[in-house]
Amino acid sequence: MRAVDIIVNKRDGHELSTQEIQFFVDGYTRGEIPDYQAAAWAMAVLLKGMTARETTDLTLAMANSGEILDLSQVVPIAVDKHSTGGVGDKTTLVVEPAVAACGLPVGKMSGRGLGFSGGTLDKIESIPGYRVDLTKEEFLDQLGRVGIVLTGQSGDLAPADGKFYALRDVTGTVQSIPLIASSVMSKKIAAGAQAIVLDVKVGLGAFMTNLTEARQLAELMVAIGRSSGRRVVALLSDMNQPLGSAVGNALELKEAIDTLHGGGPADFRDHCIEAGGHLLVIGEKARDLATGKAMIVKALTDGSAWESFRRLVTAQNGDVSFIDDPSKLAHASIVEEVNAPADGYVMEIHARRVGEAAIMLGAGRAKKGDAIDPAVGILVHAKVGDSLKRGQKLFTIHANNPALVEPVRIALLQATTWSMVPVQPLPLFYGSIE
């Protein structure tokens, strides 16, 4: 077999065989197929698509490119969740401890932010000392002992995805449904949880900007999970406007802490309750969604979710004094308000543009490996549909570089559109696929 023939086959719109896909993934992972051929192949897949069978083969080939964990060695059932990425999405920081507080073990390997989309690892690393580099043995030991783990993706799991993802990021080939589905599901299968909730974001601040494509992606991932013997539920959730209020690492951590204490912005809290409820159902701790959601509400109000978060931070060497007193977390030297320029109803707060404004401040990376500033970011004080008076607080900029405040202020005002007539609020979810 030759890599070039496989590229040509896909370029000409043919269905690749299981052997061809396996050959390509193995060759690329071992470094025998060079980046330029893998890039040409990824572009051919993006343009010509893949059948469900090809996508499943690709997923399994990538999952099998490294180690596959078996969490049933340490707990009878463990759950995992995955978000396809968005702005202000600090859901894992709340849902994981809440679910663990309900007696369901949860082991998660998270990623870093890239582009406008934030990453859970960057957020939790705002806690001094917190380790995100657990070994496989430490992961399994902590899951069995503490019932909750939140660490970085181990290099041994789905290494093919690590290579392909870095390549896709710089070759304009991220936005492909079969490539996203296989990337997400290869990692989830390798990470070993038996039941998985996928949070598929749709909207202006998501990879999938329309509901039809998001639904297609969700259905494909659920089918792949099922064919690998995993229980999977996919939620289709809104990412037109940022989730919650905070965008930026320590700011998002503080918002998660507020929510774990029973407060937090209503949309973010409701989102966590829904996602957590689904995890409890597929993890067989709740008989139906209403029961699961009620259990999460209880965990958020009776202090047990918070205690579970403290256990997580302690287990991973984080300094709990920083979460007990979040005023100790990194904070920016400049805090500046942006007010509504006129009376009106908020029609749009463009999630991607707000995410990009946060990156401009230093909250994210323009490319892999860039340093981030945990302190900086943006608080968004309004939601689509809100009625504001001129001069009312719309955003708060947290910056460390005074030269950035004005450009970010302009970017945020440009990210907001207004209407003179009432506007419907956006839904939190557009449905679920099981």
**Residues identified as active-site:** 82, 161, 168, 183, 187
β 429-433/231-238 pair status: antiparallel
Q: Is 8 exposed, middle or buried (0-12, 13-18, 19+ CB in 10 A)?
A: middle
Measured from the CB atom, is 80 or 373 closer to ligand URA?
80
Q: How far is the CB of 58 from ligand URA (least distance, A)?
A: 12
CA separation for the pair 144, 142 (Å, rounded): 5
Nearest approach in angstroms of CB 175 to ligand URA is 9
Residue number, nearest CB to ligand URA: 183
Report the nearest approach of ligand URA to the CB of residue 230 (Å).
Answer: 16
Is residue 355 within 8 Å of 242, Cβ to Cβ?
Answer: yes
Q: Is 19 exposed, middle or buried (0-12, 13-18, 19+ CB in 10 A)?
A: exposed
Beta bridge partners, 83, equal 199
Q: How far is the CB of 329 from ligand URA (least distance, A)?
A: 27
Radius of gyration of the chain (CA): 21
Q: Select 200 or 296, whichever has its Cβ closest to ligand URA.
A: 200
The least CB distance from residue 259 to ligand URA, in Å, is 24
CB of 109 to ligand URA, least distance (A): 11
Contact 56, 224 (CB under 8 A): yes
**Residue whose CB is less far from ligand URA, 110 or 304:** 110
Q: Which is nearer to ligand URA, 124 or 329 (CB)?
A: 124
Short-list 281, 180, 291, CA closest to 233? 281
The helix/strand/coil state of 58 is helix
Q: Is residue 201 within 8 Å of residue 89, measured between CB atoms?
A: yes
Q: Are 132 and 335 in contact (CB under 8 A)?
A: no
Contacts of 385 (CB under 8 A, 6+ apart): 345, 346, 422, 423, 424, 425, 426
Which C-beta is closer to ligand URA: that of 352 or that of 381? 352
- Distance CA(353)–CA(248), nearest Å, equals 13
Among candidates 275, 203, 228, which has minimal Cα distance to 427? Answer: 203
How would you classify residue 426: left for phi > 0, otherwise alpha for psi between -120 and 50, otherwise beta? Answer: beta
Report, in Å, the least distance between residue 146 CB and ligand URA: 26
- Given the rule CB under 6 A, which residues bind ligand URA? 84-85, 165, 174, 179-180, 183-184, 207
Would you call 134 exposed, middle or buried from its count of C-beta atoms within 10 A (0-12, 13-18, 19+)?
A: buried
- Which CB, 28 or 165, lies closer to ligand URA? 165
Q: Which is nearer to ligand URA, 179 or 433 (CB)?
A: 179
Q: Read off the tokens for 176.
A: 């492909």
Question: In this structure, what token pair is assigned to residue 251?
Answer: 């700011």
Q: Are strands 148-152 and 106-110 parallel, antiparallel or unpaired?
A: parallel
